[in-house]
Structure 1
Amino acid sequence: MAGEAGKAGGPVHEVESALSWIDTSLLTVIAASTAVVVLSGLVQVSFGTFTMSITTAWASVFDPLVWTNPQVLLRLFLGEGFGNAVASALGISTAAVDLPKETLIVWQIRMPRVLVGVIVGANLAVSGAVFQAVTRNELASPFILGVSSGAGLAILLTLIVFSGLTTLLPLIAAGGGAVAFLLVYAIAWKGGTNPVRLVLAGVIVSTVFGSLQTGLFFFADDLGVVQSAIAWTTGSLTGVDWEQVRMGLPWTLVAVPLTLVGARQLNVLLLGERTARSLGMSVERVRFALSAVAVLAAGTAIAVAGIVGFVGLIVPHMVRQLVGSDYKRLVVASVFAGPALVTLADVGARLALSPAQLPVGIVTGLIGGPYFLYLMRKQDGLGDL
């Protein structure tokens, strides 16, 4: 009987052990962040050039015609052709659904802005969390380390010179970000790196790449391309549509799980290189592999919304104060808190000077600049974790 009880309790005990890292503080962050995203999303869908009441807008979000017809959601998330193909393969009807005008406006035009905000926030927060671990620097983020500038330069080159490659923007942005990060690392390397040199090297690379971005404007003949490029450099969710959702979501579903898989390695890196090596870790190989994931996440965010600064700095730091430094909890919390910050900032960007709309990157910059100064003044070692 005791043996049978032990066998019966074995799987249950294993499940409990696997989930032991989930605690009240993490669940609180997830619940609060989800509430912020939902409320911010409901505010976003309530405003636009087409006037409708808040009640009508919110009812359109939860319209049963959308939620009871999977083919509608499949077409939105996967595109018309691929969505119909998947629906057919799953035995779902591909018949067109006649949606009310208000529901079409909310789902076709307004909802993508909320979803892109979620994608951008999750990717930048995860990217910042990884960079802070691999550099052991609390001030590290894609923006501070020059990754955002490198990705932005790659995107501008694509828009202005190689416009036929726009479908590959996330990969192109990741490539530009990787080049920038390698340059920062090379400049900061002197028998090793330290937080001061990394931050200063990031400032140098960001300045140079920012100047190159500005210089590219002079080679653009189309004013529309210049305006689009300027919007990209400031970070904006204005005018995004389902194309950006379809572009960013697959890479997000790659970067976030890979970061969770690497959470244990990130925890070990925080212990220092000597300790990590004593535990059998190939430090540089792991560091660059995880950095590649962080660059991909940052590149994805920049490809769909431009350079939204300081999210990767603010979110991991604030989350660390709430859930601790265990990277399994930190990454999960960042995935929820990042979208909360971006969607909330986008609401502020939209309503601050209504009917004019600020780029969301300006709002996050206004928040992140003083916060960065606070962290610098707080840390005697300029960012050591």
Structure 2
Amino acid sequence: MATDTDTATDRRTRPRLASLADGRLFSLCLGSSLLVLASLLVQVSFGTYSMSIAEAWGAVLDPLVWTNPQVLLRFLFGEGLGNAVAGALGLSTAAVDLPTATNIVWNIRLPRVLVAVFVGMALAVSGAIFQAVTRNELASPFILGVSSGAGLTVLLTLVVFSGFALVVPFTAGSVVLSATALLPLTAALGGAVAFGIVYAIAWKGGTSPVRLVLAGVIVSTVFQSLQTALFTFASDIGVVQQALAWTTGSLTGVAWPEVRIALPGTVLAVVLALALARQLNVLLLGESTARSLGMPVERMRFALSAVAILAAASAIAVAGIVSFVGLIVPHVVRNVVGSDYTKLVVGCLFVGPALLCAADVGARLFFEVAFGQPQQLHVGIVTGLVGGPYFLYLMRRQDEMGEL
């Protein structure tokens, strides 16, 4: 027998589900998914080891991978933890000899696509949240200083503390975490510190969207200057090149460790963003209206910002500072499905990966197709080249650019 609580829950859930039953949202998600799939086929087919699309797809669907769960667990959790999980589940831990094509696709090419998917999701959701928090469609992790703060701490880790290692003791021994393994934590810390400074500068008996954006521009500029200064301390050309890749945004060389770094933070941020979609919609109504509806505006703004920082840090930790994704993806989705954040967040989860996967295909194959050379562009360069003209188009088309 249904209770009053069940009825109330149904009443709250039904409008949310109904808002997702939107033909435009479905078409947007379907088109984005097809673009990601096309990017996957291109990425796994091209490279130094040449194979046809049929051979690449056969490697992706290789039964030796899909019928041996321990292989998937090793990919997802790493060799040691993957074997431990397989043993705990009563699965075989025996090694499986994979064909060359399957090894190349699963160990080199497929992880790059997965990282692009997670980074695209994280940056798009982070940008959407910041635009609601500031009620300004020009807001993004980059503009509010989060990307610059996270990038600065990542560069500090790579350039100054590259030899640092943290020993974590356990009853059965200890685990040594290198500086690179700590990048997600340092990126999140840097993003949080940067946004904390932005919040402190913008605070004047409370904050306002305009003050947050202006403070974000100030902090972002200062932190970018510090990033540039760090290059003078790097004597190793390899470290300089790695640092440059971080500051421009790159997916070159990513593998399963980067998938494992990006996955937890991205999933947690996405779940929280979907759960808080109603609060995001209320913030769009303005501070006075939100307070009249009983919302603690400052606390909610701070909590939502923390979710956006988590998402941005997860992306920056594995791909560096990829520009424009957090800025233009919410625009694209908003122009198609409107400003309802229940639909907007879902749309961002599909359009963000589509944009970044397509951009990475261009970054990886441009020189090879155009000049027959194996060099690769950084994906942040491609997103900047795409995002700049698109934003110019929006600016020329819309009279009230900058307000939601």
Same fold per TM (> 0.5)? yes
In structure 2, runs of 5+ residues without a counterpart are 166-178, 369-373
**Counterpart Cα distance in 1 of 2:302 and 2:246:** 27
Amino acid at match of 1:303: A
2:380 aligns to what SS in structure 1?
A: helix
- Within the candidate set 19, 22, 33, 1:21 is matched to 19
Give the match's secondary structure for 1:204: helix
Alignment correspondent of 1:245? 259
Residue in 1 that maps onto 2:176: none
Letter in 2 for 1:175: L
In 2: Cα distance, 1:161 partner to 1:290 partner:
32
TM-fit CA distance, 1:192: 6.0
Q: Percent identity?
A: 70
CA distance 1:156–1:319, shift in 2 (3 Å) = same
CA deviation after TM superposition for structure 1 residue 71, in Å: 1.2
Normalised by the length of structure 1, the TM-score is 0.92
Q: Partner of 1:105 in structure 2?
A: 104
Distance 2:220 2:57 in 1: 42
Deviation at 1:322, TM superposition (A): 1.5
- How many residues get paired? 379
After TM superposition, the structure 1 = structure 2 runs for residues 216-365 of structure 1, keeping only pairs within 5 Å, are: 216-354=230-368, 355-365=374-384
8 Å Cα contact 2:134/2:213 also seen in 1 = no
> In 2, Cα distance between the equivalents of 1:269 and 1:225?
43
**Unaligned stretches of 5+ in structure 1?**
none
Aligned partner letter, 1:370: P
1:184 matched to 2:198: yes
Per-residue Cα deviation, 1:93-138 (whole angstroms, up to 9, x for no partner): 2222121111001101111110110010000000000000000001
Which position in structure 2 is the counterpart of 1:383?
402
TM-fit CA distance, 1:19: 2.2
CA distance in 2, matches of 1:179, 1:140: 18
Judge conservation of contact 2:111–2:255 (CA < 8 Å) in 1.
Answer: yes
Query: Residue 206 of structure 2 contacts residue 298 of structure 2 at CA under 8 Å; is this kept in 1?
Result: no
Distance 1:142 1:10 in 2: 37
Q: Which residue of 2 aligns with 1:87?
A: 86
Cα distance in 1, alignment partners of residues 330 and 128 from structure 2: 5
- 1:55-79, Cα deviation, whole Å (9 max, x unpaired): 2122111112111211111100110
1:67-78 alignment, distance < 5 Å? 67-78=66-77
Matches within 5 A, 1:205-220: 205-220=219-234
The answer as to whether partners of 1:375 and 1:383 remain within 8 angstroms in 2 is no
CA RMSD of superposed structures (Å): 2.3
The letter for the 2-side match of 1:35 is L
Instruction: Please give the alpha-carbon distance, in whole angstroms, between the structure 2 residues aligned to 1:157 and 1:78.
Output: 27
Instruction: Give the Cα separation in 2 of the matches to 1:115 and 1:53.
Output: 21
- Secondary structure of residue in 2 paired with 1:141: coil
Cα 1:63/1:168, change in 2 over 3 Å: same
AA matched with 1:84: N
CA-CA distance at 1:284 after TM superposition: 0.4
SS at match of 2:18: coil
Q: 1:218 to 1:342 in 2, by over 3 A?
A: same
For the Cα contact (< 8 Å) 2:16–2:342, is it kept in 1?
no
CA distance in 2, matches of 1:217, 1:125: 29
**Which sits farther off after the overlay, 347-356 or 70-79?**
347-356
Whole-angstrom distance in 2 between the partners of 1:239 and 1:156: 18
Which amino acid counterpart does residue 20 of structure 1 have in structure 2?
A: A
Task: Give the letter aligned to residue 131 of structure 2.
Answer: Q
Alignment partner of 1:353: what SS? helix
CA distance in 2, matches of 1:236, 1:166: 16
Shifted more, 209-218 versus 300-309: the winner is: 209-218
